Amino acid sequence: MKHITEEQLIAYIQNELSGKEIENLENHLIGCSQCKGEFIVIEELTNEWNEPSLELSVDVTLDVMSEIEKTEKQKFVRKNKRSTYLDFILAAAATILFSQLKIVDYIIDTSDHVIGISSVTVEQANHSLEKGMSSLNKINLKIQSKTGGENK
């Protein structure tokens, strides 16, 4: 005699078998005490699984939800305070660092130096340009004297 599998018993309990399969299974359960015992155990476990074991009152649910909201608000407030303190500490540290290292003075001195170099470079360029123009004028005068003043 072939016994019924657990899968077949579960399918029977969940009404997933066809009419012929149901008839064959029920006939087998009548004649086989082993399968009948297994069926009873599976049926009890299924019923136990489907029944809620503990019903919570609406008050308990509301209490839990309000506690969750309080906890979330406290975390948010605490996080904002930490952020404010951290911003303040970072600003103070940056101020102390800049004042101790005199970075601002260095930047100002560097830009003055760059401006000084630029003005020296402009003066040198003007001087070179004047020398070049003077040399061109001398060359032009020499050319004019040799050609008799024809080029103007």
70 part of a folded domain: no
pLDDT of residue 69: 80
Measured at the CA of 71, the angle between CA 67 and CA 77, to 5 degrees, comes to: 145
Q: Which residues contact 38 (CB under 8 A, 6 or more apart)?
A: 4, 6, 9
Confidence category of residue 56, pLDDT binned at 50, 70, 90:
low
Q: Is residue 76's pLDDT more than 70?
A: no
Domain hosting 114: range is 100-152
Query: pLDDT over 90 for what percent of the chain?
Result: 22
30 part of a folded domain: yes
- The total domain count for the chain is 2
140 part of a folded domain: yes
111 part of a folded domain: yes
Q: Is residue 2's pLDDT more than 80?
A: yes
In the chain, count of helices (H) and strands (E)? 5, 0
Q: Is residue 75's pLDDT more than 90?
A: no
pLDDT of residue 26: 94
Using an 8 Å Cβ cutoff, are 151 and 143 in contact? yes
Calculate mean pLDDT across residues 74-86.
Answer: 64
Query: Does the pTM of the predicted model rise above 0.95?
Result: no
84 part of a folded domain: no
Using an 8 Å Cβ cutoff, are 48 and 38 in contact? no
Greater model confidence, 91 or 82: 91
Calculate mean pLDDT across residues 30-40.
Answer: 92
Using an 8 Å Cβ cutoff, are 100 and 106 in contact? no
Per-residue tokens: 89 = 């500490």
Q: Is residue 22's pLDDT more than 80?
A: yes
Q: What is the 3-state secondary structure (H, E, C) of 94-132?
A: HHHHHHHHCHHHHHHHHHHHHHHHHHHHHHHHHHHHHHH
pLDDT of residue 55: 64
Calculate mean pLDDT across residues 104-117.
Answer: 62
66 part of a folded domain: no
Measured at the CA of 142, the angle between CA 136 and CA 143, to 5 degrees, comes to: 90
pLDDT of residue 30: 93
pLDDT of residue 113: 61
Q: Is residue 79's pLDDT more than 60?
A: no
The C-alpha atoms of residue 44 and residue 46 are separated, in whole angstroms, by: 5
